Amino acid sequence: MSDVLVQSPAEKKPLLGKKERKLITDPLSDNNPVTIQVLGICSALAVTTQMKPTMVMALSVTAVVALSNLVISLMRNAIPPRIRIIVQLTVVSVLVILVDQILKAYMYDISKQLSVFVGLIITNCIVMGRLEAYAMGNKPFPSLLDGLGNGFGYGAVILTVAFFRELLGSGKLFGFKVIPDAVYEAGYVNNGLMMIPAGALFVVACYIWVQRSFAKHLEEKE
Amino acid sequence: MEFLKKKILELRPDFEKGGKYAQFHTLFDGFATFLFTPDRVSRGGTHIKAGIDLKRTMFFVILAMVPSLLFGIFNVGHQHFLALGEFAGSPLNGLWDKFFYGALKVLPIVIVSYSVGLGIEFFVASKKGHAINEGFLVSGMLIPLVLPPDIPLWMVGLSTAFAVVFAKEVFGGTGMNVLNVALTARVFLFFAYPTFMSGDQVWISEKPDVYSGATALANAAATGTPFQISADQPWNYSLQDMVVGLIPGSIGETSKIAILLGAAFLIITGIGSGVIMISVILGALLMGLIFNGIGMTPFMNMPFYLHLAMGGLLFGAVFMATDPVTAAHTGTGKWIYGLLVGMMAVMIRVFNPAYPEGIMLAVLFGNVMAPLIDNYVVQANIARRNKRLAARTSLA
């Protein structure tokens, strides 16, 4: 019990030290869940035709990943290893149902637009991946940060994809027309490929291409 | 020619390493070897001695496409004037007007496709520092032939750029592509700008709105026979028109005679695989026969051989499916690949009214399957020979 009375050096550390900041920034680029770990691709293809629902989706996933990381990390020493997947799933599904109900209550239109994909956050590989890879073996606070970082990393990618898909596919951003009528009169036509999920694959591919041409250290050595 | 040769030899030192235009070496080399056989000789390793290289191969394929291109140019004009009601009677009436009009429509598409594609090719080649590959010479001619005549030129440029970058350069350039480049360009346009690539309105250049532009394929999908045509059109397609090619359609696909001339040229010179052409056609006929047997819809009941006379099936079989890079390589594999493509093409036509032209998707599907087919053919061959070896050793 003497540990509690004597302040250990570890507790003097600032709330957001270098290591903690890295937990947030790493998933944004060098360890991005979508473009590097190739997780959560399905929803990156499915919900990204428009910016607005994509934004909501990104926030929902961030909330679920961060909170489930936190909860599982708090419970990690009490979970028997053999049934840990079931426990994780239970926690995640509770959070997903909460998010779904909140969306239905306050953003009904968008919730209808996202339809099953909110419920399908439970199958998003990022959630389970972070629980298994991080929350099961780390303290609650870093786990929360890791969840936030991965949520932001996921959000950054799907928002970029949605930006190009909405701009090229329907000439709009957040539902507002941004390509002027004069351009259409000159013969420009919206690109239908961007409206089908296959189009998102090309945008994700370009994202990975651009990212890797800037970050050479990510290239696999031959 | 002598003058050119002298000039090239004179200029060459400037483009060699250390010369003042050394950074344009690939460009210079590309043009010089296009005009003359290079004096470099491969040394070391195992080589097959042959008088043909990539440039000559590509050039022969282009020669094989010339009949389709010329007829396509004529037919664009012919359909246009027919829709306007001018030059009635024999199709040869107003031949030069039709030809001139068609050339005005088709040549810009050819120029855009070539300049965009070759531009990217040259840029990548000089950036990577390897020699310019001639793979695009054929793709650049195939792309215009599979497009409708009124396609906006910027779409041609965009789709060409997309196809060259995504279907070819990212896989490592000529000879490494998984998908046929020209078809990738077409499939891009088909999904990105469907209103410009399908329907009844796009196949006749600048036609009056009241005039039905339904293709033979669209007629067949709607009524079960390609010949019937709506009341606003003053004449019917006949089998003869469809074989000669006097029907609306993509620029190069309409004339079956011109395509067969090209096919004969490819087979005689040994450039294109006759096995693939025949197996695609057999696959299509087989599927047509099966559908005749089932006979649930009018389109299924259409006589099976008519499938060959309409749409781009024959063009795809001769020029697209035989692409030596993306087709199957093994002997048995070519038969399986061809039959698969032919059967898929007719199946997509008959089952999916949204995609009237099945051959495009069928060839791309075949391209994706080709390495798998080759793999199983090779494995089967190894297994058979192992078995034979085992049988022989057990006898001894």
Residue to substitute from A170, A190, A191, interface B, most B β-carbons within 10 A:
A191
Instruction: Calculate mean pLDDT across residues A15-41.
Output: 77
A6-38: buried (b, 16+ CB within 10 Å) or exposed (e) per residue? eeeeeeeeeeeeeebeebbebbbeebbbbbbbe
Cβ atoms of A47 and A53 closer than 8 Å: yes
> Is B188–A187 a contact, with Cβ atoms under 8 angstroms apart?
no
CB A199 within 8 Å of CB A208 = no
Instruction: Judge: B188–A189 Cβ closer than 8 Å, yes or no.
Output: no
Distance separating alpha carbons of residues B378 and B371, to the nearest angstrom: 11
- Within 10 angstroms of residue B394's Cβ, the number of other Cβ atoms is 7
B245-260 average pLDDT score: 89
Angstrom distance (rounded) from CA B179 to CA B167: 6
* Residue-wise DSSP of B287-347: HHHHHHHH--SHHHHS-TTHHHHSTTHHHIIIIITT-TTTS--SHHHHHHHHHHHHHHHHH
Which residues of chain A lie closer than 8 angstroms to B194, CB-CB? 192
Distance to chain A for B343, nearest Cα, Å: 25
pLDDT for B284: 92
Which H or E run contains A27?
none
Distance separating alpha carbons of residues A97 and A95, to the nearest angstrom: 5
- Are A92 and A68 in contact by the 8 Å Cβ rule? The answer is yes
DSSP conformational letter for B29: H
Name the phi and psi angles at B35, rounded to 5: -85, -40
B213 secondary structure, DSSP code:
-
A146, A138 in Cβ contact below 8 A?
yes
CA atoms of B288 and B300, how far apart (whole Å): 7
Of A187, A191, A205, the CB nearest to B192: A191
The answer to whether B230 and B212 are in contact (CB under 8 A) is yes
pLDDT, average across residues B309-335 = 90
Residue of A187, A196, A205 lying closest to B191 (CB–CB): A196
**Which residues, listed in sequence order, are joined to residue B357 by a DSSP beta bridge?**
none
Count CB atoms within 10 A of the CB of residue B48: 4
In angstroms, the separation between the Cα of residue A150 and the nearest Cα of chain B is: 29
Complex confidence, ipTM: 0.77
Nearest to A192 among B152, B166, B191 (CB): B191
Q: Which helix (H) or strand (E) element contains residue B204?
A: none
Cross-chain Cβ contact A192/B194 below 8 Å: yes
Q: Which pLDDT belongs to residue B339?
A: 94
Q: Quote the DSSP letter at residue B316.
A: I
The radius of gyration of chain B from alpha carbons, rounded to an integer in Å, stands at 23
Q: Does residue A25 register a pLDDT over 70?
A: yes
What is the distance in angstroms between the Cα of B187 and the nearest Cα belonging to chain A?
10
User: Any idea which residue has 């149902």 for tokens?
Assistant: A97
pLDDT of residue A1: 42
pTM: 0.83
Contact in structure between B143 and B113 (CB atoms under 8 Å): yes
- Residue B33, both tokens: 């070897």
CB atoms within 10 A of CB B216: 25
CB contact under 8 A, A193 and B192: yes
- The dihedral of CA A212, A192, A197, A96: what is its sign? positive
> Would you give the distance in Å from CA B260 to the centre of its chain?
13
Q: Where are the domains of chain A?
A: 26-158
At B228, is the pLDDT very low, low, confident or very high (cuts 50, 70, 90)? low
Q: What is the pLDDT of residues B60-70, one digit of tens each?
A: 899 999 999 99
For residue A16, pLDDT over 80 is answered with no
Q: Does A194 touch chain B (CB under 8 A)?
A: yes
CA distance B394 to B244: 61
Q: How confident is the model at residue B232 (pLDDT cuts 50, 70, 90)?
A: low
Residue numbers in B near A191 (CB within 8 A): 192-193
For the segment A158-206, what is each residue's pLDDT rounded down to a tens digit? 899 999 988 888 888 887 888 888 888 887 888 888 888 888 888 888 8
Q: What is the pLDDT of residue B231?
A: 59
Specify the pLDDT at position B177: 87
Residues B349 and B304: beta-carbon distance below 8 Å:
no
* Cα Rg, chain A, nearest whole Å: 20
What is residue A15's predicted lDDT score, i.e. its pLDDT?
A: 66
